[in-house]
Amino acid sequence: MNNAVFGGVWANKKKPKREHMGEMIRLIQQQLKKLELGMVFTVKQLGDQLTFIPVYLLAAACDKPAISLVQNTPEPNAGYGCSRCEMEGVTVYTGKTFIRVFPLFPGQSLLDTRRSNESYDKAMDLWDTQTSVLSKVKLKKFISQTRGYLGQCHLRNLKYFDVGRFTVLFSQS
Protein backbone atom coordinates (compact mmCIF):
# COMPACT_ATOMS: atom_id res chain seq x y z
CA MET A 1 0.00 0.00 0.00
CA ASN A 2 1.68 3.22 -1.20
CA ASN A 3 1.70 6.43 0.83
CA ALA A 4 -0.10 4.85 3.77
CA VAL A 5 0.71 5.55 7.39
CA PHE A 6 -0.40 2.94 9.90
CA GLY A 7 -1.34 4.49 13.21
CA GLY A 8 -2.10 1.15 14.78
CA VAL A 9 -2.93 -2.47 14.09
CA TRP A 10 -5.45 -4.53 16.06
CA ALA A 11 -4.07 -8.08 15.96
CA ASN A 12 -6.87 -10.26 17.25
CA LYS A 13 -9.44 -12.74 15.92
CA LYS A 14 -12.27 -10.46 17.02
CA LYS A 15 -12.83 -6.80 16.25
CA PRO A 16 -11.88 -4.44 19.08
CA LYS A 17 -14.48 -3.61 21.70
CA ARG A 18 -15.62 -0.02 21.95
CA GLU A 19 -13.30 0.79 24.87
CA HIS A 20 -10.30 -0.78 23.10
CA MET A 21 -10.96 1.21 19.95
CA GLY A 22 -11.45 4.37 22.01
CA GLU A 23 -8.04 3.95 23.59
CA MET A 24 -6.37 3.19 20.23
CA ILE A 25 -7.97 6.26 18.67
CA ARG A 26 -6.98 8.40 21.66
CA LEU A 27 -3.32 7.39 21.26
CA ILE A 28 -3.41 7.93 17.48
CA GLN A 29 -5.05 11.32 18.03
CA GLN A 30 -2.21 12.36 20.35
CA GLN A 31 0.33 11.58 17.62
CA LEU A 32 -1.76 13.32 14.95
CA LYS A 33 -1.97 16.39 17.18
CA LYS A 34 1.85 16.54 17.24
CA LEU A 35 1.91 16.32 13.43
CA GLU A 36 -0.54 19.26 13.26
CA LEU A 37 2.06 21.40 15.04
CA GLY A 38 4.40 20.68 12.16
CA MET A 39 7.75 18.95 11.83
CA VAL A 40 10.76 19.19 9.59
CA PHE A 41 10.70 16.56 6.86
CA THR A 42 13.19 15.67 4.17
CA VAL A 43 11.27 16.16 0.92
CA LYS A 44 12.63 14.01 -1.89
CA GLN A 45 10.80 16.00 -4.60
CA LEU A 46 12.58 19.17 -3.39
CA GLY A 47 16.05 17.63 -3.70
CA ASP A 48 16.03 16.25 -0.17
CA GLN A 49 15.47 19.74 1.18
CA LEU A 50 14.50 20.01 4.83
CA THR A 51 11.01 21.52 4.94
CA PHE A 52 8.72 22.41 7.82
CA ILE A 53 5.31 20.83 7.17
CA PRO A 54 2.20 20.60 9.36
CA VAL A 55 0.13 17.48 8.69
CA TYR A 56 -3.64 17.23 9.11
CA LEU A 57 -6.08 14.36 9.12
CA LEU A 58 -8.75 15.10 6.53
CA ALA A 59 -10.60 11.80 6.26
CA ALA A 60 -10.66 8.23 7.45
CA ALA A 61 -11.67 5.18 5.43
CA CYS A 62 -13.76 2.86 7.60
CA ASP A 63 -16.37 0.19 7.10
CA LYS A 64 -19.72 0.77 8.84
CA PRO A 65 -18.92 -1.07 12.10
CA ALA A 66 -15.59 0.77 12.35
CA ILE A 67 -17.25 4.15 11.83
CA SER A 68 -19.53 3.50 14.80
CA LEU A 69 -16.51 2.63 16.95
CA VAL A 70 -14.47 5.64 15.81
CA GLN A 71 -17.38 8.07 16.20
CA ASN A 72 -18.57 6.36 19.38
CA THR A 73 -22.09 5.96 18.08
CA PRO A 74 -24.35 2.86 18.16
CA GLU A 75 -23.95 -0.04 15.75
CA PRO A 76 -25.14 0.80 12.22
CA ASN A 77 -28.35 -1.23 12.61
CA ALA A 78 -29.31 0.32 15.96
CA GLY A 79 -31.23 3.48 16.79
CA TYR A 80 -29.11 6.55 15.96
CA GLY A 81 -26.69 4.19 14.21
CA CYS A 82 -26.36 6.20 11.00
CA SER A 83 -22.89 7.71 10.76
CA ARG A 84 -24.09 10.70 8.73
CA CYS A 85 -27.30 11.80 10.45
CA GLU A 86 -28.77 12.03 13.94
CA MET A 87 -32.10 10.40 13.19
CA GLU A 88 -33.21 7.47 15.33
CA GLY A 89 -34.38 5.61 12.27
CA VAL A 90 -37.14 3.04 11.93
CA THR A 91 -37.10 -0.73 11.67
CA VAL A 92 -38.68 -2.19 8.54
CA TYR A 93 -39.22 -5.73 7.32
CA THR A 94 -37.67 -6.46 3.95
CA GLY A 95 -39.56 -9.70 3.40
CA LYS A 96 -36.58 -11.67 4.67
CA THR A 97 -35.28 -9.78 7.66
CA PHE A 98 -35.64 -6.62 9.68
CA ILE A 99 -33.34 -3.69 8.94
CA ARG A 100 -33.06 -0.17 10.28
CA VAL A 101 -33.41 2.67 7.84
CA PHE A 102 -33.03 6.41 8.30
CA PRO A 103 -35.55 8.02 5.95
CA LEU A 104 -36.20 11.73 5.71
CA PHE A 105 -39.82 12.56 6.43
CA PRO A 106 -41.73 15.32 4.61
CA GLY A 107 -40.42 18.70 5.69
CA GLN A 108 -37.14 17.28 6.99
CA SER A 109 -33.88 18.33 5.43
CA LEU A 110 -30.66 16.35 5.51
CA LEU A 111 -28.94 19.57 6.58
CA ASP A 112 -31.12 19.67 9.71
CA THR A 113 -30.28 16.15 10.72
CA ARG A 114 -26.67 15.61 9.69
CA ARG A 115 -24.02 14.95 12.30
CA SER A 116 -21.67 17.87 12.91
CA ASN A 117 -19.03 19.12 15.30
CA GLU A 118 -21.58 21.51 16.82
CA SER A 119 -24.14 18.82 17.63
CA TYR A 120 -21.39 16.50 18.85
CA ASP A 121 -20.17 19.23 21.23
CA LYS A 122 -23.72 19.68 22.59
CA ALA A 123 -23.91 15.93 23.20
CA MET A 124 -20.61 16.02 25.07
CA ASP A 125 -21.94 18.89 27.22
CA LEU A 126 -24.79 16.55 28.19
CA TRP A 127 -22.31 13.77 28.95
CA ASP A 128 -20.31 16.16 31.13
CA THR A 129 -23.38 16.75 33.29
CA GLN A 130 -24.11 13.03 33.56
CA THR A 131 -22.35 11.75 36.64
CA SER A 132 -24.60 8.99 37.97
CA VAL A 133 -25.14 5.49 36.65
CA LEU A 134 -28.41 5.38 34.72
CA SER A 135 -30.92 2.56 34.65
CA LYS A 136 -31.39 0.87 31.28
CA VAL A 137 -34.60 2.84 30.58
CA LYS A 138 -33.09 6.19 31.60
CA LEU A 139 -29.92 5.44 29.63
CA LYS A 140 -31.97 4.82 26.47
CA LYS A 141 -33.70 8.20 26.93
CA PHE A 142 -30.37 9.89 27.62
CA ILE A 143 -28.79 8.40 24.48
CA SER A 144 -31.69 9.79 22.45
CA GLN A 145 -30.89 13.23 23.90
CA THR A 146 -27.24 12.86 22.82
CA ARG A 147 -28.49 11.76 19.37
CA GLY A 148 -26.66 8.47 19.80
CA TYR A 149 -23.26 9.63 20.98
CA LEU A 150 -22.13 7.07 23.53
CA GLY A 151 -19.12 9.07 24.67
CA GLN A 152 -16.10 10.87 23.33
CA CYS A 153 -14.90 10.71 19.75
CA HIS A 154 -11.22 11.42 20.30
CA LEU A 155 -10.57 12.57 16.73
CA ARG A 156 -12.80 15.59 17.36
CA ASN A 157 -9.78 17.26 18.98
CA LEU A 158 -8.05 17.47 15.60
CA LYS A 159 -8.10 20.78 13.74
CA TYR A 160 -9.94 19.77 10.55
CA PHE A 161 -11.84 16.77 11.81
CA ASP A 162 -15.57 17.01 11.16
CA VAL A 163 -17.80 14.52 12.95
CA GLY A 164 -20.19 12.96 10.48
CA ARG A 165 -18.29 13.99 7.38
CA PHE A 166 -14.81 12.69 8.00
CA THR A 167 -15.43 9.12 7.00
CA VAL A 168 -15.15 7.61 3.60
CA LEU A 169 -17.17 4.42 3.55
CA PHE A 170 -14.92 1.48 2.90
CA SER A 171 -16.27 -1.94 2.04
CA GLN A 172 -14.34 -5.18 1.66
CA SER A 173 -16.95 -6.77 -0.62
Residues forming contacts to Zn ion in the complex (CB under 5 A) are 82, 84-85, 102
CB of 82 to Zn ion, least distance (A): 3
Distance CA 115, CA 2 (A): 31
Instruction: Give 29 or 113: the residue with its C-beta nearer to Zn ion.
Output: 113
CB of 165 to Zn ion, least distance (A): 12
CB of 144 to Zn ion, least distance (A): 15
Instruction: Give 64 or 156: the residue with its C-beta nearer to Zn ion.
Output: 64
Instruction: Give 22 or 81: the residue with its C-beta nearer to Zn ion.
Output: 81
The β-bridge relationship of strands 39-43 and 49-53 is antiparallel
Burial of 111 from C-beta contacts in 10 A (0-12 / 13-18 / 19+): exposed
Element (H, E) at 70: helix 64-71
